[in-house]
Amino acid sequence: MLIHFYKMQSLGNDFVIIEQNQQLNNTAFNTEFFKKISNRNYGIGCDLIAIYKINKIENNTAFVYASFFNSDGSQAEICGNATRCIGLLMQRIKNCSQTIIQVDNSEYKVHIKNATTYLTWSTKTKISKFDLSVIKEITNTNNIVDAYKVSVGNPHLVLFVKTMPTLEEIKNTGEIIEKHSVFPNRTNVEFAVLRQDNSIDLRVFERGVGLTLGCGSGAMATAVSTKKFKISENVDHISIHQLGGNIEIKFLTDETFIQKAKAEYIFSGDIEIDELYFSSALMKETEQQNCNKNSSKITIYTDGACSGNPGPGGWGAILISNDNKISELSGNEVNTTNNKMELTAVIKALESVSSEQEIEIFTESQYVKEGITNWIKKWVKNNWKNSEKKEVKNKELWEQLLKLSANRKITWKWVRGHNGDTFNEKVDALARNECSKLPL
């Protein structure tokens, strides 16, 4: 079977872009397919694969749905450079000067002017200072000045350093940080040096890919850190220099940015795929997923903590599978409340497990247990008003939890805090540790 593809690049970050309607056997492309295509010796070779589908073309604008897959086969939430390349591709093959690209529930607008791509990026960013002592313990270096944990749709750890490490040092350090237990969903890692002219030198180790010549979301995460903490004087317009070229970032608002950078069509072609091999690989992959889904039961302990209430807070969760494998999740927020952290812990835990599994959740929060098993029915019936006819607090979090709980077999159990329960004590320590990473 022949698969048609386009090879494109931006900032040396290269992509294979494929239209979705070429799926094998009318099923989704699978992990083995992505690994094969991205391999530089046995496939086409790229940092990332973009799958796109044109929904419509209207008023010289292409409306496109896209998804992204790293060279290791894992899915990426967003890729700024690939998004701009898709915009350039729509100009080339459909003569559209503007493209609206939907990635899950977010939209990105790309327009082309004088062979330069402009990406309007509107997203709710999350950023917090990361405990330097933790990073220094992981990396065993004193070269790091500041560390910031940033989400711009995907996770990043931005490290401002005194001097730029060698590429080998970046590769070695990036590999350690990306998969460290403090990042349960893994993370992209940026190394940034502020220049005298207030521009930034940047090197990026991408999650699921490795060291790349350029990274659009990495540049965005670095720019957001720079603006939020006023690291550079030019906080509304930042130039970022990467190995593959320069990217300009302009802030329109705190949540809307424009990326300006070059993108390039390289070539297109067809690659012959052994359909039987990939169908077999997909079958094995599906069987494994079904096996994981059908694993009988998972036990979850959750807890939240807050200093000041409101103030800096942390949450933690411990997941215990039916074969006694234990995993931990945790995170923090700069300005929050104890109740929000208790709810967030449960939400994050449920997001990480299959909807097919039987779940037993232990919480020391009567607010969470009574809320989800009792009060929430009345809140929904009364249009999210409590018994005093006032708006229910933390409504958005309760809505998330209600949605995640729907059609699932969940047993909710209350456990008394600080009463000798081993896992409750551990999850309490996780939450408090996350809380302590933030400044008061």
Domain that holds residue 213: 126-245
Phi-psi region of 56 (alpha: psi -120 to 50; beta: other; left: phi over 0): beta
- Residues 234 and 324 reside in one and the same domain: no
Helices (H), 294-375: 338-351, 366-370
Residue at 286 is within a domain: no
Question: Which letter, b or e, does each residue of 25-55 get, where b requires 16 or more Cβ atoms within 10 Å of its Cβ?
Answer: eeeebbbbbbbbbbeeeebbebbbbbbbebe
Residue at 374 is within a domain: yes
What SS3 state is found at 8? strand
Please check whether residue 279 is in contact with residue 25, taking contact to mean a CB–CB distance below 8 angstroms: yes
Please check whether residue 349 is in contact with residue 343, taking contact to mean a CB–CB distance below 8 angstroms: no
> What CATH number does the domain containing 378 carry?
3.30.420.10
- Residues 136 and 232 reside in one and the same domain: yes
Residue at 283 is within a domain: no
Block residue for tokens 């330069």: 116
Joined tokens for residue 310:
């409101």
Residue at 12 is within a domain: yes
What SS3 state is found at 403? helix
Instruction: Give 281's contacts (C-beta < 8 A, 6+ positions apart).
Output: 30, 31, 32, 33
Residue at 45 is within a domain: yes
- Residues 365 and 387 reside in one and the same domain: yes
Residue at 284 is within a domain: no
- Residues 238 and 182 reside in one and the same domain: yes
- In tens, the pLDDT along 270-285 reads 988 776 555 555 555 5
pTM: 0.64
Q: For residue 206, name the pLDDT band (cuts at 50, 70, 90).
A: very high
Most distant pair of Cα atoms in the chain: their distance = 67
CA angle in degrees (0–180, nearest 5) for 405-411-415: 115
- Residues 108 and 175 reside in one and the same domain: no
- Residues 156 and 78 reside in one and the same domain: no
- When mean pLDDT is compared across 22-26, 133-137, 150-154, 302-306, the lowest value belongs to 22-26
Residue at 258 is within a domain: no
What CA–CA distance (Å, rounded) separates 409 from 316?
22
What SS3 state is found at 307? coil
Strand partners, 179: none
pLDDT over threshold 90, residue 15 = yes
What CA–CA distance (Å, rounded) separates 235 from 198?
9
Q: For residue 292, name the pLDDT band (cuts at 50, 70, 90).
A: very low
Residue at 282 is within a domain: no
- In tens, the pLDDT along 17-72 reads 999 888 655 455 778 889 889 999 989 999 999 999 999 999 999 999 999 999 99
- Residues 189 and 78 reside in one and the same domain: no
- Residues 42 and 64 reside in one and the same domain: yes
Of residues 65, 225, 246, the one with CA closest to residue 152: 225
CA 275 to chain centre: 31
What CA–CA distance (Å, rounded) separates 438 from 421?
27
- Residues 11 and 109 reside in one and the same domain: yes
* Domain count of the fold of the chain: 3
- Residues 69 and 190 reside in one and the same domain: no
**Does residue 310 have a cis peptide bond before it, meaning omega lies within 30 degrees of 0?**
yes
Of residues 248, 231, 29, the one with CA closest to residue 117: 248
Average pLDDT, the chain: 89
- In tens, the pLDDT along 147-186 reads 999 999 899 999 999 999 999 999 999 999 998 878 878 9
Taking residue 115's Cβ as centre, other Cβ atoms within 10 Å add up to 10
Phi-psi region of 41 (alpha: psi -120 to 50; beta: other; left: phi over 0): alpha
213: DSSP letter = S
Joined tokens for residue 126:
């999350």
Of residues 241, 162, 229, 166, the one with CA closest to residue 197: 241
> What CATH number does the domain containing 80 carry?
3.10.310.10
What CA–CA distance (Å, rounded) separates 370 from 339?
13
Strand partners, 51: 18, 67
10 Å CB burial of residue 287 (0-12, 13-18, 19+) is exposed
- In tens, the pLDDT along 329-367 reads 999 998 999 999 999 999 999 998 887 788 999 999 999
- Residues 58 and 162 reside in one and the same domain: no
Tell me the chain's radius of gyration from C-alpha atoms: 23
pLDDT recorded at residue 294: 47
C-alpha to C-alpha distances, 64 to 94, 101, 178, 258, nearest whole angstrom? 12, 5, 31, 19
